[in-house]
Structures are given as C-alpha cells and as structure tokens.
C-alpha cells in the first residue's frame, strides 16, 4: 500500500461490522497518527497498530509503544520485507493492566515466506498500553 494513502485497507486486516476491510485512517491510523491524543484502547488494538507501523516502517510509533524495560534503540526493519498479513489468534486480558495477544504475521523476505507466531505481553501504565515482550512458537 502507498504509505500516504490513508483510505486504503488497513494492513492489519481488521474488518468492520459489515465484514468490510477497515481503512487505515479509521483503524490503526487513529492511534499511529494521533498517539498523544488517542492511544490504542486495548492490547489487541495496540498489537494491530504495531504490526501496521512495522509495515510502514514507523520507528517513532514502535518506540513510543514499546515498554521502557525492553525498548531497543531502534526497531529492526529488514529492508526487503514484504508484509503479507496478520491474523490475531487470541486476545486475553489478564486483569486490569496486563494482557496477552497471540498472533501470526506473514511476510516475505528475499523471496522466502516467513511465518512469525508469537504471544506478546502488554501492560498498561498511566492509561496507555505498551508492548513488553513476546514468546515465539
């Protein structure tokens, strides 16, 4: 997708109530482009928006939503990655301020298909959700 086209289908693949793809601006773009005013309301929305930020190589958003205890200096973008899609398998709130999201992300790297299956941990601090770390399968 064109990086500036906010009316195209959101890379995270979320569907609206009528099973139509949500546009970027109505889906992850609401959080990615307005992080200060409108943080992702739950761990699944944050996870989806971080996937979308990866596809758009938005380092600022990824770092802003990475918990300080685990945050790298810079996110790792493989230059030739072609993101193919995201499937959220499970979203499990665990109390008020912690949650896990299990997902499969697919991409192509140098012609090779890669499947990333991870259960990510999230925490909420001062009303904002953060990605902590993940366990890969």
Q: Which residues are near Zn ion by CB under 5 A?
A: 10, 12, 14, 27-28, 48
| Shortest Cβ 28–Zn ion spacing (Å) | 3
| Shortest Cβ 111–Zn ion spacing (Å) | 26
Asked whether the beta carbons of 54 and 77 are under 8 A apart, the reply is yes
Asked whether the beta carbons of 110 and 79 are under 8 A apart, the reply is no
Q: 28 or 40, CB closer to Zn ion? A: 28
SS3 assignment, position 117: strand
Q: 31 or 130, CB closer to Zn ion? A: 31
Token pair of 57 as six digits: 């190589």
| Shortest Cβ 109–Zn ion spacing (Å) | 22
């Amino acid at each position: 997708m064109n990086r500036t086209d906010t009316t195209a289908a959101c890379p995270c693949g979320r569907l609206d109530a009528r099973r139509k793809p949500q546009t970027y601006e109505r889906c992850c773009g609401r959080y990615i482009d307005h992080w200060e005013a409108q943080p992702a309301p739950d761990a699944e929305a944050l996870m989806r928006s971080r996937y979308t930020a990866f596809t758009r190589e938005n380092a600022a958003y990824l770092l802003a939503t990475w918990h300080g205890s685990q945050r790298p200096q810079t996110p790792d973008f493989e230059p030739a990655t072609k993101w193919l899609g995201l499937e959220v398998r499970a979203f499990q709130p665990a109390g008020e301020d912690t949650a896990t999201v299990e997902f499969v992300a697919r991409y192509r790297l140098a012609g090779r298909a890669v499947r990333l299956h991870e259960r990510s941990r999230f925490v909420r601090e001062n009303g904002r959700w953060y990605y902590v770390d993940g366990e890969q399968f």
